[in-house]
Structure 1
Amino acid sequence: MAKAEKIAETTVNIRVKNRKYLLTPKSAPYIFIGPAFVFILIFTVYPVISSLFLSFQQVRGVEKSFVGLANYSRLFHDPIFYKSLLNTFEILIIQVPIMLFLALVIAVGLHSSLIKAKAFFRISFFMPAITALVAASIVFMILLDEHFGLVNYLLSFMGIDSIHWLTTPFWAKVSVIVVMTWRWTGYNMVIFLAGLQNIPSELYEAASIDGAGKVKQFFMITIPLLKPVFIFTVVMSTIGTLQLFDEPFILTHGGPNSATMTITLYLYEQGFKFFDFGYASAIAYVLVLITALVSWIQMKLVGDIEE
């Protein structure tokens, strides 16, 4: 009996020593982050590298052949690519300023002490950002239906003829912009609200004592101190818009006449509709370069956060 207890004790000591050896102060962090690191390598790093090599290849079924820069050369002679690029930047230039302006106005209003039931309004404005996009898009498709939609029904009371929201190039683009603004304004409002809450109230009190009104306080205190928030929201909104896919895919399928065809939607069609994965990969890497360039220009124009 004593011998068995001794053997068991020796086994426990060996296991404890082994555990101590594995979980040293130096090795413990690597052991804990190891599984996550492996998943990142498999599901992020490998696809990125694989798609880079794929962009220099032509895929026919299961066969791949190296074609060099042929996919990139084809890309810069593709009129639909230029059309999708133009559509994306038109939406970006129009939608992002409108959305951020509305987000700032709503954030300033909800930050005011005059507003009651702030929690209710914050949740209400943020709700579209967490609403299932497919469900929301179906609702908008019903609302914007040219024959039976509620929007055209209300417009008829004002003597306005029925608008073909989703079947004409101009109004289809307007519809996409409206849905995007509805969805993401509340999200950016929360970010602006967090920035407003971090501004010390003493600054406003001191400005009031010096005779500065609310408008002057807004432009001389609020706007300068929200500079990092502006940079963050502008850059993130730009990146999100350059990757725009869901809204035009569900609402208009890129139509009519490619009026709402975006870069990512065109990428999707080339890869998963025509199975031209080499060309789709080339589009993806050009999009990455465009996004990086636009973000860098914005950072330079707005100014460095550290300043």
Structure 2
Amino acid sequence: MKTAKPGIKLMNKGRLTGWWFIAIAVIMIAAFYFYPMIQALLLSFKSGKGANLHFTGLDNYKRLFSDKTFLTAVKNTFIYLIIQVPVMIVLAMFISVLLNDSKLKFKGFFRTAIFLPCVTSLVAYSIVFKYLFGADGLVNMLLTKLHLISAPIQWITDPFWAKVTIIIAITWRWTGYNMIFYLSALQNIDNSIYEAARIDGASSVRQFFSITVPLLKPIILFTSITSTIGTLQLFDEIVNITKGGPGNATMSISQYIYNLSFKYSPDFGYAATVSYSIVIMIVILSIVQFKAAGEK
């Protein structure tokens, strides 16, 4: 009778030891990520108030298309997405190119200063923005003293300006975060490529569009997808700056989920359905971005 070779036994033992090392992490991820996700999916097919839920099939998903509040929240969220994400990505890329200049002094200071907003508390910075953009806040005061406006702008209570305030806030918060990715990618580009381009007579603008942008394509795709996911889940800024108002003019999808669960009469089944609508949107937009970027 043949016996297993010592080398094979050692290999199998090593594999088993490896599984023991990751077992706790796998169990925790399964318990706190996958199990709630599956339960939320099952919950999205149920309806009822509070804990009195019963299976209703696809009724909740059909309800989405006739829910005016949900459609308003989707429209608002996509306004933030379409305007803020491209502006933030372009700003992050532009700032990273400036901060990657070898001739720039105090680069460490500028990099830290621009990155600092993304480590501040979401609630704290949102409240600061609320007071800065108040009717008698610092922004209106400065604009009035500079004679750019004759009357205070209602940044918080006007539907249009409230959206502008939210876009400014999240752009300020997340531009530095995305800048770090671009800066890291730029530092990995061989400087000899730019030297060859300069010898060929390429201007700085031509170098940016012909060398920098193509080489940053994977990072642009990554930041676009992560920013899209973050914007579709936008919550803290909306709740703390405008509370979704005036009316529902600034309400996001995530705030609507919160309202369905805790503010209105609890409807956890429909709230789970709205939550999974975000998942569907993220999947569709990610596929579109991958196709647009030509990535497999």
Correspondence list, 1:41-120, <5 A: 41-120=30-109
Query: Which of 238, 247, 251 is the matching residue for 1:261?
Result: 251
**Alignment partner, residue 290 of structure 1:** 281
2:50–2:267 contact (8 Å) kept in structure 1? no
SS in 1 for 2:15: coil
Instruction: Pick which of 54-63 and 131-140 moved more.
Output: 54-63
Query: Which of 181, 190, 198 is the matching residue for 1:191?
Result: 181
User: What's the offset of the Cα at 1:236?
Assistant: 1.1
Q: 1-side partners of 2:196 and 2:133: how far apart?
A: 50
2:96–2:179 contact (8 Å) kept in structure 1? yes
Which consecutive segments of 4 or more residues in structure 1 shift more than 3 A?
none
Paired residues in the alignment total 284
**Alignment partner, residue 5 of structure 2:** none
Q: Does 1:125 align with 2:114?
A: yes
2:44–2:269 contact (8 Å) kept in structure 1? yes
Aligned residue identity for 2:229: I
**Alignment partner, residue 28 of structure 1:** 17
SS in 1 for 2:108: helix
SS in 1 for 2:54: strand
Instruction: Name which structure has the greater RCO, CA cutoff 8 Å, separation 6+.
Output: 2
User: What's the offset of the Cα at 1:51?
Assistant: 0.7
2:229–2:282 contact (8 Å) kept in structure 1? yes
Aligned residue identity for 2:167: I
Q: Does 1:182 align with 2:172?
A: yes
Once superposed, what is the RMSD of the aligned Cα atoms? 1.5
**Alignment partner, residue 152 of structure 1:** 140
User: What's the offset of the Cα at 1:262?
Assistant: 0.9
Q: 2-side partners of 1:60 and 1:93: how far apart?
A: 35
Stretches of structure 1 that go unaligned for 5 or more consecutive residues are: 1-19
**Alignment partner, residue 17 of structure 1:** none
> Per the alignment, do residues 188 and 41 of structure 1 end up closer, same or farther by CA in structure 2, a change over 3 Å counting?
same
User: What's the offset of the Cα at 1:279?
Assistant: 0.2
Correspondence list, 1:109-258, <5 A: 109-147=98-136, 149-159=137-147, 160=149, 161-258=151-248
Stretches of structure 2 that go unaligned for 5 or more consecutive residues are: 1-8
User: What's the offset of the Cα at 1:179?
Assistant: 0.3
User: What's the offset of the Cα at 1:74?
Assistant: 1.4
Q: 1-side partners of 2:94 and 2:49: how far apart?
A: 53
Aligned residue identity for 2:202: A
SS in 2 for 1:24: helix
**Alignment partner, residue 3 of structure 1:** none
Q: Does 1:277 align with 2:268?
A: yes
Note the alpha carbon deviations across 1:99-119, whole angstroms, 9 max, x for none: 111111110110012210111
Note the alpha carbon deviations across 1:143-186, whole angstroms, 9 max, x for none: 11102x11111111133110111111001100000000000011
What is the TM-score of this pair, normalised by structure 2? 0.92
Instruction: Pick which of 200-209 and 60-69 moved more.
Output: 60-69
What is the TM-score of this pair, normalised by structure 1? 0.89
**Alignment partner, residue 3 of structure 2:** none
